[in-house]
Amino acid sequence: MTHESEPATETTTGTAHATTSAPTSAPATDPGADHGAEPGSGSARRRRPVADLALIALFAALIAACSLISIPLGFVPVPITLQTFAVLLAGAALGATRGFLAVLLYLAIGFIGLPVFAGGSAGLAVLALPSAGFLLSFPFAAWLAGFAVSRLSRRSAAGQAALVFVALIPASLLIYAAGIPVMSWLAGITLGQALVFNLAFVPLDLVKMALVAIVATAVHRAFPDLLPPRASREAPRSARRDARASA
């Protein structure tokens, strides 16, 4: 403003003023022009919820599709499906919160009547089936899988897949811990019988966990920003430690 109000007494002086003031005024002419593509920009933050919703809906549909692949064994009152594969993959690929919400959305659309549960079943009547405990444990298993996988450090593909496999073990144990007692109660069998019956699923579940580890590792290597960087996840924790130390 001072430069514009002063009369230009010399041509060279006016030129110098124009030259020195140009760089300071250039950024103001196009605010945020280059920031729209940056991860921390306003437009990127606006796009992120839309992408999250799309991923949640996509994985809810994937779980529904995998649930329709049902193979009854006969000697066990719960059929073999790819539900657990899709549930664990949702958590491992999307992280704890989005994985939890994807499974919750899947359960919601099944409870309101869409035939997305095993064998094409739907509605609240599935809560009276022996598999109800397994079904209700799925959102929490997805959250636990996502929480564990998001804490892993980045390694080679083989090493990362092995770590993801190990990280999935608590989530799988949670499914069994919730499902077996409910099966015992609703199927009218002893807890020991329910435990023995479910031993038939262990080898298949280990195979599913291995597939989840491989697929999740491939997804994270193809889309490295799908999960937040480890440093950003640990930043709030270090900030809390610093606050306690300063106090």
Q: Give the three-state DSSP class for 227.
A: coil
pLDDT in tens, 33-72: 444 444 444 555 556 899 999 999 999 999 999 998 877 7
Alpha carbon distance 55, 227 (integer Å): 12
* CATH class, range 47-229: mainly alpha
Q: Report whether pLDDT(8) > 50.
A: no
- Which pLDDT value is given to residue 230? 56
The yes-or-no verdict on residue 73 having pLDDT over 80 is no
Q: pLDDT grade, residue 77 (50/70/90)?
A: low
- pLDDT tens column, 116-172: 998 889 999 999 999 999 999 999 999 999 999 998 877 777 889 999 999 999 999
Kindly report the three-state secondary structure assignment for every residue of 147-203. HHHHCCCCCCHHHHHHHHHHHHHHHHHHHHHHHHHHHHHHHCCCHHHHHHHHHHHHH
Q: What percent of the chain has pLDDT over 70?
A: 70
Running DSSP on this structure, what letter comes out for residue 117?
Answer: S
